[in-house]
Amino acid sequence: MTELLIIKPSSLGDIVHALQVATSIKAQVSHVRISWVVREIFAPIVRACAAVDQVYVFERAAGAKGFLRLAKQIREKEFDFVFDMQGLLRTGLMTQRARAERKIGRADAREFSGVFYDEKVALPPGGKRSHAIEILLQFCPVIGAKPELRGALKFREVDSLNLRFADSRGGGNPIVMFVDSRRAEKTWGGFKELTELLLREDKNRKVVWAGSSYVHDRGAFPPAQFFNLTGNTSLVSLPALVQRADWVIANDSGPMHLAAALGVRVLGIFGPTDPRLFGPYPPSAPGNVVVQAPVGDLKLLSAKEVHQRFQRAQARFK
């Protein structure tokens, strides 16, 4: 059995990309067991992924004690490979503490983390201007896999009361909107108006708002058509919710990447970040659609523009 340790503590979108790569490795390489180092807030989704066999939790809030506890845990096992897919000082130190025959990091590693690797994987032909997934796929040949996505990303199913609205009869699968983002400059303010346009357009349509932070809907929408899950969207139930969506409409965020990874049609709303590097992957897929705000400023992007783009995208599937 080949023992592989992947170090990718954060963030959600980056973890989703790395889970896709782990799934591809499992699909191509027999007898590989994958362990994973992840921050405590993202641990539920990594534990739920079928490609991951063991999870080591990095308690970042615990400071030095949390780091030393993690280091002790990972040193209890001997690995064949360690892949530092994050490339920062703290993940380099984690790599250094692990016992492994080969320790591999990114060519674009930062904060002097590269001194802890035995080798670095080369960047793809596009260099640093490559999509984030293409950069991570370069780890695959190290373990005998091709640098391409193989296999289907799968998560263990959960039973959640919050999924009942999505499963209810009438109106088909809902449009699921993730209305927040980690960074303010990546958060679009037009979701309320977009929801109004979509529900007015089709009285049988259902819309779900989701996300980790609560966003008040002010009771503006009919309960039969609308459900607000913001502030009550657990990571462990996130894949099941996304898979029940007809479309996902989201800011540049982890849930947007998860939707694309699961093959759910997605419309990503971009401000300052470049969708060619961080958009839903692969960018050529008909169901991976992006809207970028004028000059990268989301305040200049109207709900009508996003609605029109969504209508054009939806027409492809009718």
Going along the chain from its start, the domains and CATH numbers come out as 2-143 (3.40.50.2000), 161-315 (3.40.50.2000)
Q: According to the model, what pLDDT value does residue 155 have?
A: 95
Q: Which residues contact 127 (CB under 8 A, 6 or more apart)?
A: none
6: pLDDT strictly greater than 90? yes
pLDDT band at 160 (very low <50, low <70, confident <90, very high): low
d(CA 148, CA 130): 14
110: pLDDT strictly greater than 70? yes
What region does 151 belong to: left with phi over 0, alpha with psi -120 to 50, or beta?
left
Instruction: Give the residue ranges of DSSP H helices in 187-299.
Output: 191-201, 238-243, 254-261, 275-278
Q: What is the mean pLDDT of residues 94-113?
A: 96
Do 108 and 87 form a contact (C-beta atoms < 8 A)?
Answer: yes
Q: Which residues contact 148 (CB under 8 A, 6 or more apart)?
A: 24, 137, 140
pLDDT single digits (tens) 216-274: 998 899 999 999 999 988 899 899 999 999 999 999 999 999 999 999 999 999 999 99
pTM beyond 0.75: the answer is yes
Q: Is 112 helix (H, G, I), strand (E, B) or coil?
A: coil
pLDDT band at 157 (very low <50, low <70, confident <90, very high): confident
d(CA 122, CA 175): 39
Do 24 and 6 form a contact (C-beta atoms < 8 A)?
Answer: no
- Strand blocks (E) in the chain: 2-7, 32-39, 54-58, 78-84, 99-106, 119-121, 175-178, 207-210, 226-228, 247-251, 266-270, 288-292
Q: What angle do CA 107, 111, 117 make, to 5 degrees?
A: 50
Task: Return the structure tokens found at 189.
Answer: 């303010």
In Å, what is the CA distance from 279 to each residue of 115, 204, 257, 270?
31, 30, 8, 8
Do 265 and 248 form a contact (C-beta atoms < 8 A)?
Answer: yes
pLDDT band at 37 (very low <50, low <70, confident <90, very high): very high
283 secondary structure, DSSP code: T
The answer to which of 57-66, 121-130, 168-177, 309-318 has the lowest mean pLDDT is 168-177
Exposure of 161 by Cβ count < 10 A (0-12 exposed, 13-18 middle, 19+ buried)? exposed
In Å, what is the CA distance from 202 to each residue of 77, 149, 226, 228, 246?
56, 37, 12, 19, 14
